[in-house]
Amino acid sequence: MEKLVDSGMVSGVLDVTTTEVCDLIVGGVMSAGPARLDAIARTRVPYVGSTGALDMVNFYGIDTVPPQFRGRNLYRHNPQVTLLRTNPEECREIGRWIADKLNACVGPVRFLIPERGVSAIDAPGQPFYDPAADTALFDALESTLRQTQSRKLLRLPLHINDPRFADALVEQFRAIAAD
Q: 94-116, pLDDT tens digit by residue?
A: 999 999 999 999 999 999 999 99
Distance CA 110, CA 47 (A): 6
Give the predicted TM-score (pTM) of the model: 0.97
pLDDT value of position 179: 65
Distance of CA 96 to the CA centre of its chain: 11
pLDDT value of position 1: 87
Distance CA 101, CA 96 (A): 9
Residue ranges for the chain with pLDDT beneath 70? 179
Domain spanning 2-55+87-177 has what CATH number? 3.40.50.12030
Rounded to whole angstroms, what are the CA distances from 114 to 13, 57, 106? Answer: 18, 19, 24
Distance CA 62, CA 137 (A): 26
**Please, are residues 138 and 86 in contact by the beta-carbon 8 Å criterion?**
no
